[in-house]
Chains A and B, each alone.
Chain A
Protein backbone atom coordinates (compact mmCIF):
# COMPACT_ATOMS: atom_id res chain seq x y z
CA UNK A 1 0.00 0.00 0.00
CA UNK A 2 2.78 2.37 0.89
CA UNK A 3 4.64 1.67 -2.33
CA UNK A 4 1.42 2.05 -4.30
CA UNK A 5 0.74 5.46 -2.77
CA UNK A 6 4.29 6.64 -3.40
CA UNK A 7 4.15 5.39 -6.97
CA UNK A 8 0.80 7.04 -7.64
CA UNK A 9 1.97 10.37 -6.28
CA UNK A 10 5.18 10.30 -8.32
CA UNK A 11 3.33 9.22 -11.46
CA UNK A 12 0.90 12.11 -10.94
CA UNK A 13 3.81 14.50 -10.66
CA UNK A 14 5.36 13.05 -13.81
CA UNK A 15 2.06 13.41 -15.68
CA UNK A 16 2.05 17.05 -14.68
CA UNK A 17 5.61 17.53 -15.91
CA UNK A 18 4.79 15.78 -19.19
CA UNK A 19 1.79 18.04 -19.69
CA UNK A 20 3.80 21.14 -18.92
CA UNK A 21 6.43 20.19 -21.47
CA UNK A 22 4.26 18.86 -24.25
CA UNK A 23 1.24 21.16 -24.27
CA UNK A 24 1.08 24.56 -25.89
CA UNK A 25 -2.28 25.70 -24.56
CA UNK A 26 -1.72 27.92 -21.54
CA UNK A 27 -4.77 26.63 -19.68
CA UNK A 28 -3.57 23.07 -20.18
CA UNK A 29 -0.13 24.02 -18.92
CA UNK A 30 -1.74 25.51 -15.80
CA UNK A 31 -3.83 22.38 -15.27
CA UNK A 32 -0.65 20.32 -15.61
CA UNK A 33 0.99 22.50 -12.98
CA UNK A 34 -1.93 21.81 -10.66
CA UNK A 35 -1.64 18.07 -11.30
CA UNK A 36 2.07 18.31 -10.46
CA UNK A 37 1.19 20.09 -7.23
CA UNK A 38 -1.34 17.43 -6.37
CA UNK A 39 1.26 14.73 -6.88
CA UNK A 40 3.82 16.48 -4.70
CA UNK A 41 1.24 17.12 -1.97
CA UNK A 42 0.20 13.47 -2.02
CA UNK A 43 3.85 12.49 -1.80
CA UNK A 44 4.37 14.66 1.27
CA UNK A 45 1.25 13.39 3.01
CA UNK A 46 2.24 9.81 2.23
CA UNK A 47 5.60 10.41 3.88
CA UNK A 48 3.84 10.74 7.22
CA UNK A 49 1.14 8.15 6.62
CA UNK A 50 0.84 4.80 8.30
CA UNK A 51 -1.84 2.17 7.95
CA UNK A 52 -2.30 1.48 11.63
CA UNK A 53 -2.24 5.10 12.78
CA UNK A 54 -5.16 7.39 13.33
CA UNK A 55 -6.12 10.90 12.33
CA UNK A 56 -4.04 13.31 14.44
CA UNK A 57 -6.96 14.66 16.41
CA UNK A 58 -7.34 13.89 20.09
CA UNK A 59 -10.80 12.52 20.72
CA UNK A 60 -12.40 10.52 23.47
CA UNK A 61 -12.04 7.21 21.70
CA UNK A 62 -8.28 6.82 21.84
CA UNK A 63 -7.16 3.87 23.86
CA UNK A 64 -3.52 3.62 22.88
CA UNK A 65 -0.64 5.88 23.84
CA UNK A 66 -1.01 8.98 21.77
CA UNK A 67 2.53 9.31 20.52
CA UNK A 68 2.52 6.12 18.51
CA UNK A 69 -1.09 6.17 17.47
CA UNK A 70 -1.19 9.16 15.15
CA UNK A 71 0.06 9.74 11.69
CA UNK A 72 2.74 12.37 11.50
CA UNK A 73 0.96 15.75 11.60
CA UNK A 74 3.91 17.77 10.37
CA UNK A 75 3.69 16.90 6.63
CA UNK A 76 -0.02 17.64 6.74
CA UNK A 77 0.65 21.11 8.11
CA UNK A 78 3.26 21.67 5.40
CA UNK A 79 0.85 20.48 2.73
CA UNK A 80 -1.71 22.98 4.00
CA UNK A 81 0.83 25.72 3.31
CA UNK A 82 1.61 24.17 -0.06
CA UNK A 83 -2.06 24.11 -1.09
CA UNK A 84 -2.53 27.77 -0.23
CA UNK A 85 0.57 28.79 -2.14
CA UNK A 86 -0.60 26.69 -5.09
CA UNK A 87 -3.87 28.61 -5.00
CA UNK A 88 -1.98 31.90 -5.14
CA UNK A 89 0.16 30.68 -8.04
CA UNK A 90 -2.95 29.59 -9.92
CA UNK A 91 -4.64 32.95 -9.41
CA UNK A 92 -1.64 34.95 -10.62
CA UNK A 93 -1.13 32.60 -13.57
CA UNK A 94 -4.78 32.96 -14.60
CA UNK A 95 -4.44 36.74 -14.51
CA UNK A 96 -1.32 36.49 -16.68
CA UNK A 97 -3.14 34.18 -19.09
CA UNK A 98 -6.03 36.66 -19.32
CA UNK A 99 -3.55 39.40 -20.13
CA UNK A 100 -1.87 37.24 -22.75
CA UNK A 101 -5.25 36.49 -24.29
CA UNK A 102 -6.12 40.16 -24.39
CA UNK A 103 -2.83 40.97 -26.08
CA UNK A 104 -2.65 38.18 -28.64
CA UNK A 105 -6.19 36.92 -28.99
CA UNK A 106 -5.19 33.32 -28.48
CA UNK A 107 -4.38 30.96 -25.65
CA UNK A 108 -1.72 28.89 -27.39
CA UNK A 109 1.96 29.49 -27.22
CA UNK A 110 2.41 29.63 -30.98
CA UNK A 111 4.94 32.00 -32.49
CA UNK A 112 2.83 34.89 -33.71
CA UNK A 113 3.20 36.60 -37.05
CA UNK A 114 5.00 39.47 -35.40
CA UNK A 115 7.92 37.27 -34.47
CA UNK A 116 10.23 36.69 -37.38
CA UNK A 117 11.80 33.29 -37.76
CA UNK A 118 9.02 31.36 -36.11
CA UNK A 119 8.41 27.81 -37.19
CA UNK A 120 5.04 28.60 -38.65
Chain B
Protein backbone atom coordinates (compact mmCIF):
# COMPACT_ATOMS: atom_id res chain seq x y z
CA UNK B 1 0.00 0.00 0.00
CA UNK B 2 3.01 2.23 0.22
CA UNK B 3 3.26 2.39 -3.54
CA UNK B 4 1.45 5.60 -4.55
CA UNK B 5 0.42 4.16 -7.91
CA UNK B 6 -1.39 1.20 -6.38
CA UNK B 7 -3.18 3.36 -3.85
CA UNK B 8 -4.16 5.74 -6.63
CA UNK B 9 -5.61 2.88 -8.65
CA UNK B 10 -7.52 1.51 -5.67
CA UNK B 11 -8.90 4.95 -4.83
CA UNK B 12 -9.98 5.48 -8.46
CA UNK B 13 -11.59 2.06 -8.60
CA UNK B 14 -13.56 2.66 -5.41
CA UNK B 15 -14.70 6.06 -6.64
CA UNK B 16 -15.72 4.69 -10.04
CA UNK B 17 -17.63 1.79 -8.52
CA UNK B 18 -19.48 4.14 -6.20
CA UNK B 19 -20.35 6.44 -9.08
CA UNK B 20 -21.43 3.52 -11.22
CA UNK B 21 -23.63 2.19 -8.45
CA UNK B 22 -25.24 5.61 -8.11
CA UNK B 23 -25.85 5.89 -11.86
CA UNK B 24 -27.27 2.39 -12.15
CA UNK B 25 -29.41 2.89 -9.07
CA UNK B 26 -30.79 6.15 -10.43
CA UNK B 27 -31.46 4.81 -13.91
CA UNK B 28 -32.23 1.20 -13.38
CA UNK B 29 -34.74 0.82 -10.62
CA UNK B 30 -38.12 2.17 -9.89
CA UNK B 31 -39.73 0.22 -7.16
CA UNK B 32 -37.28 -2.60 -7.58
CA UNK B 33 -37.84 -3.21 -11.26
CA UNK B 34 -35.93 -2.13 -14.28
CA UNK B 35 -37.34 1.08 -15.62
CA UNK B 36 -35.60 0.94 -18.94
CA UNK B 37 -36.30 -1.86 -21.30
CA UNK B 38 -38.11 -2.62 -24.51
CA UNK B 39 -40.60 0.02 -25.42
CA UNK B 40 -42.91 0.66 -28.28
CA UNK B 41 -41.46 3.18 -30.70
CA UNK B 42 -44.75 4.98 -31.03
CA UNK B 43 -44.66 6.03 -27.39
CA UNK B 44 -41.31 7.72 -27.73
CA UNK B 45 -40.91 8.75 -31.29
CA UNK B 46 -41.05 12.33 -32.34
CA UNK B 47 -43.95 11.70 -34.64
CA UNK B 48 -44.42 15.28 -35.74
CA UNK B 49 -40.89 15.33 -37.04
CA UNK B 50 -41.37 12.06 -38.89
CA UNK B 51 -44.56 13.32 -40.47
CA UNK B 52 -42.83 16.60 -41.25
CA UNK B 53 -45.84 18.29 -39.80
CA UNK B 54 -44.47 20.56 -37.10
CA UNK B 55 -46.41 23.65 -38.11
CA UNK B 56 -49.69 21.82 -38.44
CA UNK B 57 -49.96 21.92 -42.19
CA UNK B 58 -51.39 18.75 -43.70
CA UNK B 59 -49.02 17.31 -46.25
CA UNK B 60 -50.40 16.91 -49.74
CA UNK B 61 -49.46 13.31 -50.31
CA UNK B 62 -49.45 11.47 -53.56
CA UNK B 63 -48.75 8.18 -51.85
CA UNK B 64 -51.29 5.44 -52.30
CA UNK B 65 -52.89 4.86 -48.94
CA UNK B 66 -52.74 7.46 -46.24
CA UNK B 67 -55.42 7.43 -43.63
CA UNK B 68 -54.70 10.45 -41.54
CA UNK B 69 -52.09 12.76 -40.16
CA UNK B 70 -51.07 10.28 -37.48
CA UNK B 71 -50.90 7.35 -39.84
CA UNK B 72 -49.14 8.79 -42.85
CA UNK B 73 -47.56 6.30 -45.19
CA UNK B 74 -44.69 8.16 -46.66
CA UNK B 75 -43.21 7.03 -49.88
CA UNK B 76 -40.83 8.50 -52.40
CA UNK B 77 -42.83 10.84 -54.57
CA UNK B 78 -44.70 12.68 -51.84
CA UNK B 79 -45.03 16.35 -52.66
CA UNK B 80 -45.69 19.50 -50.76
CA UNK B 81 -44.21 18.36 -47.49
CA UNK B 82 -43.14 20.85 -44.90
CA UNK B 83 -39.65 19.41 -45.25
CA UNK B 84 -38.84 17.15 -48.17
CA UNK B 85 -35.80 15.36 -46.82
CA UNK B 86 -36.00 11.58 -46.91
CA UNK B 87 -33.41 11.35 -44.15
CA UNK B 88 -35.29 12.38 -41.03
CA UNK B 89 -32.16 12.91 -38.96
CA UNK B 90 -30.88 15.26 -41.63
CA UNK B 91 -34.17 17.11 -41.70
CA UNK B 92 -33.91 17.64 -37.95
CA UNK B 93 -30.28 18.70 -38.03
CA UNK B 94 -30.45 21.02 -41.01
CA UNK B 95 -34.00 22.32 -40.88
CA UNK B 96 -35.95 22.01 -37.65
CA UNK B 97 -32.96 22.50 -35.42
CA UNK B 98 -30.73 24.36 -37.83
CA UNK B 99 -30.21 27.09 -35.27
CA UNK B 100 -28.59 24.44 -33.06
CA UNK B 101 -26.47 23.45 -36.03
CA UNK B 102 -25.49 27.07 -36.49
CA UNK B 103 -24.25 27.11 -32.90
CA UNK B 104 -22.49 23.79 -33.49
CA UNK B 105 -20.64 25.24 -36.47
CA UNK B 106 -19.68 28.20 -34.31
CA UNK B 107 -18.38 25.82 -31.63
CA UNK B 108 -16.24 24.04 -34.21
CA UNK B 109 -14.98 27.38 -35.47
CA UNK B 110 -14.09 28.42 -31.92
CA UNK B 111 -12.30 25.11 -31.35
CA UNK B 112 -10.23 25.51 -34.51
CA UNK B 113 -9.42 29.10 -33.56
CA UNK B 114 -8.36 27.97 -30.09
CA UNK B 115 -6.22 25.23 -31.61
CA UNK B 116 -4.46 27.77 -33.80
CA UNK B 117 -3.92 30.11 -30.87
CA UNK B 118 -2.66 27.40 -28.54
CA UNK B 119 -0.25 25.81 -30.97
CA UNK B 120 3.27 26.26 -29.68
CA UNK B 121 5.42 28.71 -31.55
CA UNK B 122 8.26 27.71 -33.78
CA UNK B 123 11.01 29.23 -31.66
CA UNK B 124 11.14 26.38 -29.18
CA UNK B 125 13.94 23.89 -28.92
CA UNK B 126 12.04 20.63 -29.11
CA UNK B 127 10.90 19.40 -32.45
CA UNK B 128 7.76 17.67 -31.33
CA UNK B 129 6.74 16.03 -34.56
CA UNK B 130 9.45 14.32 -36.52
CA UNK B 131 8.28 13.43 -39.97
CA UNK B 132 10.10 11.12 -42.26
CA UNK B 133 10.10 11.42 -46.00
CA UNK B 134 7.08 9.61 -47.44
CA UNK B 135 7.76 6.36 -49.18
CA UNK B 136 7.04 5.72 -52.82
CA UNK B 137 3.54 4.31 -52.47
CA UNK B 138 2.30 7.12 -50.25
CA UNK B 139 3.87 9.82 -52.38
CA UNK B 140 2.41 8.49 -55.62
CA UNK B 141 -0.99 7.45 -54.30
CA UNK B 142 -1.73 10.56 -52.26
CA UNK B 143 -3.00 12.78 -55.10
CA UNK B 144 -5.29 10.02 -56.38
CA UNK B 145 -6.70 9.29 -52.93
CA UNK B 146 -7.05 13.03 -52.38
CA UNK B 147 -9.17 13.39 -55.50
CA UNK B 148 -11.40 10.48 -54.53
CA UNK B 149 -11.73 11.78 -50.97
CA UNK B 150 -12.82 15.18 -52.28
CA UNK B 151 -15.40 13.61 -54.59
CA UNK B 152 -16.69 11.33 -51.82
CA UNK B 153 -16.93 14.21 -49.37
CA UNK B 154 -18.93 16.36 -51.75
CA UNK B 155 -21.10 13.36 -52.62
CA UNK B 156 -21.87 12.65 -48.96
CA UNK B 157 -22.70 16.32 -48.39
CA UNK B 158 -24.84 16.43 -51.51
CA UNK B 159 -26.83 13.32 -50.60
CA UNK B 160 -27.22 14.11 -46.93
CA UNK B 161 -30.98 14.52 -47.26
CA UNK B 162 -31.44 11.17 -49.01
CA UNK B 163 -28.90 8.80 -47.48
CA UNK B 164 -26.98 8.60 -44.21
CA UNK B 165 -24.45 11.37 -44.08
CA UNK B 166 -24.69 15.09 -44.32
CA UNK B 167 -22.50 18.11 -44.04
CA UNK B 168 -20.44 17.08 -41.06
CA UNK B 169 -19.61 13.62 -42.36
CA UNK B 170 -18.79 14.98 -45.81
CA UNK B 171 -16.58 17.67 -44.34
CA UNK B 172 -14.73 15.07 -42.29
CA UNK B 173 -14.08 13.04 -45.46
CA UNK B 174 -12.79 16.14 -47.26
CA UNK B 175 -10.46 16.82 -44.33
CA UNK B 176 -9.24 13.22 -44.57
CA UNK B 177 -8.11 13.92 -48.13
CA UNK B 178 -6.18 16.96 -46.91
CA UNK B 179 -4.66 14.81 -44.15
CA UNK B 180 -3.37 12.35 -46.73
CA UNK B 181 -1.83 15.22 -48.69
CA UNK B 182 -0.12 16.51 -45.55
CA UNK B 183 1.13 13.05 -44.62
CA UNK B 184 2.67 12.61 -48.05
CA UNK B 185 4.58 15.86 -47.71
CA UNK B 186 2.54 17.88 -50.20
CA UNK B 187 1.47 21.43 -49.72
CA UNK B 188 -2.07 22.70 -49.66
CA UNK B 189 -3.17 26.27 -50.05
CA UNK B 190 -4.24 27.40 -46.60
CA UNK B 191 -5.45 30.73 -47.97
CA UNK B 192 -7.94 28.84 -50.12
CA UNK B 193 -9.17 27.00 -47.03
CA UNK B 194 -9.61 30.22 -45.09
CA UNK B 195 -11.47 31.78 -48.01
CA UNK B 196 -13.75 28.73 -48.35
CA UNK B 197 -14.50 28.74 -44.65
CA UNK B 198 -15.33 32.44 -44.64
CA UNK B 199 -17.56 32.22 -47.68
CA UNK B 200 -19.36 29.15 -46.32
CA UNK B 201 -19.96 30.86 -42.97
CA UNK B 202 -21.34 33.93 -44.70
CA UNK B 203 -23.55 31.75 -46.91
CA UNK B 204 -24.94 30.05 -43.81
CA UNK B 205 -25.79 33.46 -42.39
CA UNK B 206 -27.28 34.49 -45.74
CA UNK B 207 -29.59 31.46 -45.80
CA UNK B 208 -30.68 32.29 -42.26
CA UNK B 209 -31.22 35.94 -43.13
CA UNK B 210 -33.27 34.96 -46.18
CA UNK B 211 -35.59 33.02 -43.89
CA UNK B 212 -35.74 35.98 -41.54
CA UNK B 213 -36.61 38.43 -44.29
CA UNK B 214 -38.96 36.32 -46.37
CA UNK B 215 -40.71 34.15 -43.78
CA UNK B 216 -40.10 35.94 -40.52
CA UNK B 217 -37.89 33.42 -38.71
CA UNK B 218 -34.17 32.96 -38.77
CA UNK B 219 -33.22 29.92 -40.88
CA UNK B 220 -36.78 29.16 -41.89
CA UNK B 221 -37.18 27.21 -45.09
CA UNK B 222 -37.59 29.53 -48.05
CA UNK B 223 -36.77 27.12 -50.86
CA UNK B 224 -39.50 24.87 -52.33
CA UNK B 225 -39.23 21.42 -50.81
CA UNK B 226 -39.79 19.51 -54.03
CA UNK B 227 -40.55 15.83 -54.35
CA UNK B 228 -39.44 13.43 -51.63
CA UNK B 229 -36.56 11.26 -52.75
CA UNK B 230 -35.28 13.49 -55.53
CA UNK B 231 -31.84 14.99 -55.42
CA UNK B 232 -33.04 18.59 -55.67
CA UNK B 233 -35.59 18.45 -52.91
CA UNK B 234 -35.89 19.32 -49.25
CA UNK B 235 -35.20 23.01 -49.69
CA UNK B 236 -32.92 24.39 -47.04
CA UNK B 237 -31.55 20.99 -46.00
CA UNK B 238 -29.62 20.48 -49.23
CA UNK B 239 -28.26 24.03 -49.19
CA UNK B 240 -27.20 23.87 -45.56
CA UNK B 241 -25.64 20.41 -45.96
CA UNK B 242 -23.48 21.67 -48.81
CA UNK B 243 -22.50 24.79 -46.89
CA UNK B 244 -21.73 22.83 -43.72
CA UNK B 245 -19.71 20.30 -45.71
CA UNK B 246 -17.56 23.02 -47.22
CA UNK B 247 -17.15 24.83 -43.93
CA UNK B 248 -16.33 21.77 -41.84
CA UNK B 249 -13.95 20.44 -44.48
CA UNK B 250 -12.14 23.76 -44.67
CA UNK B 251 -11.98 24.13 -40.89
CA UNK B 252 -10.69 20.64 -40.23
CA UNK B 253 -8.34 20.93 -43.19
CA UNK B 254 -6.79 24.11 -41.88
CA UNK B 255 -6.54 22.47 -38.45
CA UNK B 256 -4.68 19.52 -39.98
CA UNK B 257 -2.45 21.85 -41.99
CA UNK B 258 -1.56 23.85 -38.90
CA UNK B 259 -0.98 20.78 -36.76
CA UNK B 260 0.93 18.87 -39.42
CA UNK B 261 3.64 21.41 -40.09
CA UNK B 262 7.07 20.01 -39.56
CA UNK B 263 8.26 22.87 -37.40
CA UNK B 264 6.02 22.05 -34.48
Contacts and interface: CB of A to CB of B under 8 A. Distances in A.
Interface of A: 1-3, 6, 10-11, 13-14, 17-18, 21-22, 48, 50-53, 55-60, 62, 65-74, 76-77, 80-81, 83-85, 87-89, 91-92, 94-96, 98-99, 101-102, 105, 119-120
A18 B10 CA distance: 10
Given A22-B12, A96-B118, 15 more contacts: A1-B38, A6-B27, A17-B19, A21-B11, A55-B164, A56-B89, A57-B163, A58-B228, A68-B42, A69-B41, A71-B41, A77-B93, A83-B168, A84-B168, A95-B114
B76 A59 contact: yes
Given A60-B76, A91-B255, A105-B126, A98 B120 contact: yes
Interface in B9-63: 9, 11-13, 15-16, 19-20, 23-24, 27, 34, 36-42, 44-47, 49-51
25 contacts: A6-B27, A10-B23, A10-B27, A14-B20, A17-B16, A22-B12, A48-B45, A57-B162, A57-B163, A67-B45, A67-B47, A68-B40, A68-B45, A69-B41, A73-B49, A73-B89, A73-B92, A74-B92, A84-B248, A88-B108, A91-B114, A92-B115, A95-B115, A95-B119, A98-B264
A56 B46 CA distance: 11
Interface in B83-123: 86-89, 92-93, 97, 100-101, 104, 107-108, 110-112, 114-115, 118-120
Nearest to B78: A58
Q: A-side binding surface: helix, strand, loop or mixed?
A: helix
Contact of A102 (B13, B112, B126): B126
